[in-house]
Amino acid sequence: MSARLRSADGDGRASVSLAELIALRARTGRLAPARAPRQAAQAGQQASRLHGRGMDYAESRAYQPGDDVRRLDWRLTARSGRLHTKLFEEEREAQLLVLLDTHASMRFGTRARFKSVQAARAAALAAWQAARAGERVGALAFGVQRQLLRPRPGMHGALALCGVLAEWDRAPGDEAAAEALSGALRRAARLARGASRVLLLSDGLCCDEAARPLLWELSRHAQVGVLLVADPLERALPPPGRYPLEHGGERREVELYGERQRREFQQALGGGGLRLAAMARSLGLACRSIDTAADPQPAVSALLGVQGAR
């Protein structure tokens, strides 16, 4: 990294450090991500798709009205006495699409680092792991940032993702026009086709009810994982005291002495994560949670199906 870039780099606590994101590549050297599942092509599709380059035989099933007779499995038909049709799997280049929450609530942290910085670290780890598996890597930011990095191949894609994570973290955002999760899912649906993984990184406060059917629809076309990022104060009742907070560049102190007051504060902070976790699990999606002081690699590896993760 050049001296100019180092001088402009974040501190890794309140702002994203590009140097740290790039260095995380070394931590994925012994990990081997499983490839994203290939999509089984339907028997009724056109022959040019099924018999062209990159098509593998998957299985045979009983003939159904409308099946292309050119795909009949004659051997199985002769053995069973019933018509059977061959199904094929279409080889598609696997890709990872990271959905990154950039709402103002992510720029909060009482221990180790902001949630936004922890989310960027998790995104970088996921990108390096996917790149080692030969997958394309892309990212979509929603919230106060509405950005897109179209999927790029391998290590070049992972490096590009690290770069935009740092850029998006520094860029000013429009909180008044912040994009909800449902909007991000609509955009993601246009990118996540075929053999895709989607990793959603958020604190959950962006979760709107309109996201439920969109999340379900996305999961029908891609392998979706949800990683919730929380501050320790959002997970447990804070001890009595005065807490400095910063929001939109304005600093203030909040006094939390009464138990009811502390409980309401904790529920207000952590309620979004609970809602998104409940939504994800009700849809059968893999979901993990980490706090700002944790090592994100075990959770990321579990969501990506990595072998050899500790």
Q: List, for residues 282-309, the tens digit of each pLDDT value.
A: 999 999 999 999 999 999 999 998 654 4
Q: Map residue 138 onto helix, strand or coil.
A: strand
- Looking at per-residue pLDDT, the higher value among 275 and 5 belongs to 275
Q: Dihedral of CA 160/163/165/167: which sign?
A: negative
What's the confidence (pLDDT) of residue 252? 74
Distance CA 294, CA 215 (A): 27
Give how far Cα 114 sits from Cα of 39, 100, 165, 198, 310, Å.
38, 14, 14, 23, 24
Compute the average pLDDT of residues 127-145. 95
Dihedral pair phi/psi, residue 119, rounded to 5°: -65, -40
Do residues 215 and 192 make contact, with C-beta atoms less than 8 angstroms apart? Answer: no
Residue 249: band (very low, low, confident or very high) from pLDDT cuts 50, 70, 90:
low
Structure tokens at 108: 């909060």
Q: List, for residues 31-47, the tens digit of each pLDDT value.
A: 555 555 544 444 333 33
What's the confidence (pLDDT) of residue 7? 40
Q: What global pTM score does this model have?
A: 0.77
**310 pLDDT higher than 50:** no
Helix H segments across the chain?
A: 3-8, 18-23, 47-50, 74-80, 115-132, 154-170, 181-189, 211-221, 232-235, 259-282, 297-304
Region of poorest pLDDT, from 81-95, 111-125, 192-206 = 81-95
What's the confidence (pLDDT) of residue 250? 66
Q: List, for residues 55-95, the tens digit of each pLDDT value.
A: 667 788 999 888 888 889 998 999 999 999 988 765 567 89
Distance CA 108, CA 106 (A): 5
Of 20-29, 88-97, 191-200, where does the model show the most confidence? Answer: 20-29
Q: What's the CATH superfamily of 3-36+93-307?
A: von Willebrand factor, type A domain (3.40.50.410)
**24 pLDDT higher than 80:** yes
Please report, rounded to a whole number, the percentage of residues in the chain having pLDDT higher than 70. Answer: 82
Distance CA 216, CA 135 (A): 23
Distance CA 27, CA 128 (A): 9
Region of poorest pLDDT, from 41-50, 66-75, 130-139, 221-230 = 41-50
> Hey, where are the domains in the chain?
3-36+93-307, 40-90
Compute the average pLDDT of residues 172-179. 88
